[in-house]
Amino acid sequence: MGARKRRAPLSRDGALAAAIALVDAEGMAALTMRRLAADLGVEAMSLYHHLPGKEGLLDGLVDAVVAEIATAAGQAETEAAGGDWRTGLRLRFLAARAVMLRHPWAPALLSSRPTIPAGVYGYYEGILATLVDGGFSYRIAHRALHAFGSLALGFAQEVFQPAAGADVDAAEAELAVLAEQLPHLAAMVAAEMHDVADPTLGWCDSQTEFEFTLDLLFDGLENARGAAGPAASRKPV
């Protein structure tokens, strides 16, 4: 009889990798401590040594996604080496977008957590460095961060975005019923049905819309930089 294969020791990273695989495949509703433990072949209580309950698990998922974004952004910076600020930020934000498309549950989870993941600060440090090195003052760079909003993390938070799990077809049907009272909204929805080949994270968050908004913001920032003249106090003393 052959030797029994030893299972790798349970770790926080391993548990989070299994959780991400589960949610990618079956959605956030499938994720419970019991289900994750079963997938890992351990007792549910064993997970609590690495992830303190469901909230700790969700925080861990957010940390893992932010780390994936930071890694993708670092690779994008390497590709953008020698380019201008616009090229650098565009590649960075599109790299974050690719992460979100791999994990379409992540935007809602990131938006719902009560605290800012520590890794986000380092990620935004890189964005600020790109802007300041590109000739922007800290004042305009600060305003740029506000303008970018969640686009910097690869997704758009939309006024007309239905809540996670909402019936998008029902929302569109409701607008159709109200077409006489809301002619412009109804016409916009009818005109902006997404192409099936256009990757989307939601009703109003397609790849085409994402990149259009980025370019619009970058054009505005370029104009603001030119109007402001030479940037003052670009670097911290």
What letters, b where the CB count within 10 A reaches 16 and e where it falls short, cover 57-77? bbbbbbbbbbbbbbebbeebb
Average pLDDT (70-92) is: 92
Q: Is residue 44 part of a domain?
A: yes
Angle between helices 53-79 and 85-102 (to 10 degrees): 140
Q: How far apart are CA 219 and CA 222, in angstroms?
A: 5
Classify residue 93: in a domain, yes or no.
Answer: yes
Q: Report the share of the chain in percent with pLDDT over 70.
A: 81
pLDDT for the residue 44:
81
39 and 82: one domain?
no
Structural domain contains residue 77 = yes
- Report residue 199's pLDDT band, with 50, 70 and 90 as the boundaries: confident
Between CA 22 and CA 28 the distance in angstroms is: 8
Domain residues for 20?
10-51
- pLDDT, position 1: 46
Domain assignment present for residue 170? The answer is yes
Indicate whether 69 and 161 sit together in one domain: yes
Say if residue 45 is in the same domain as residue 94.
no
Lowest mean pLDDT segment, chosen from 89-93, 148-152, 218-222, 227-231 = 227-231
Asked whether residue 76 is assigned to any structural domain, the reply reads: yes
How far is residue 75's CA from residue 86's CA, in Å, rounded to a whole number? 16
Looking at the structure, tell me whether residues 28 and 104 fall in a common domain.
no
* 160, 180: one domain: yes
| 173 neighbors 132 (Cβ within 8 angstroms) | no
Residue 235 lies in a domain: no
Q: The domain spanning residue 45 has which CATH number?
A: 1.10.10.60
Average pLDDT over residues 151-177: 67
pLDDT, averaged across the chain: 84
**Residue pLDDT, tens place only, 205-233:** 789 889 999 999 999 999 998 887 655 44
7-33 pLDDT, tens per residue?
667 899 999 999 999 999 999 999 999
Is 1 or 205 the better-scoring residue by pLDDT? Answer: 205
Q: pLDDT tens digits, residue range 36-65?
A: 999 999 988 888 888 888 999 999 999 999
Cα–Cα distance measured from residue 198 to residue 212, given in angstroms and rounded to the nearest whole number: 13
Nearest 10 degrees: Cα torsion 24, 30, 33, 39: -60
Does residue 116 sit in the same domain as residue 181? yes
The closest alpha carbon to 151, from 215, 78, 61, 222, belongs to 215
The SS3 assignment for 206 reads: strand
Please state whether the predicted TM-score (pTM) of the whole model is above 0.85: no
Is the domain of 188 the same as that of 207? yes
Specify if 236 maps to a domain: no
d(CA 52, CA 134): 43
Residues 144 and 35 in one domain: no
Would 2 be classed as within a structural domain?
no
Q: 55 near 32, Cβ under 8 Å? A: no
CA dist 195 → 17, 186, 200 (Å): 32, 18, 9
Same domain, 172 and 208: yes
Evaluate whether 40 touches 20 at the Cβ level (below 8 Å). no
Residues 19, 65, single domain; the answer is no
Per-residue pLDDT, averaged over 171-190, amounts to 71
User: At 178, which CATH number?
Assistant: 1.10.357
pLDDT at 230: 58
| pLDDT surpasses 60 at 6 | no
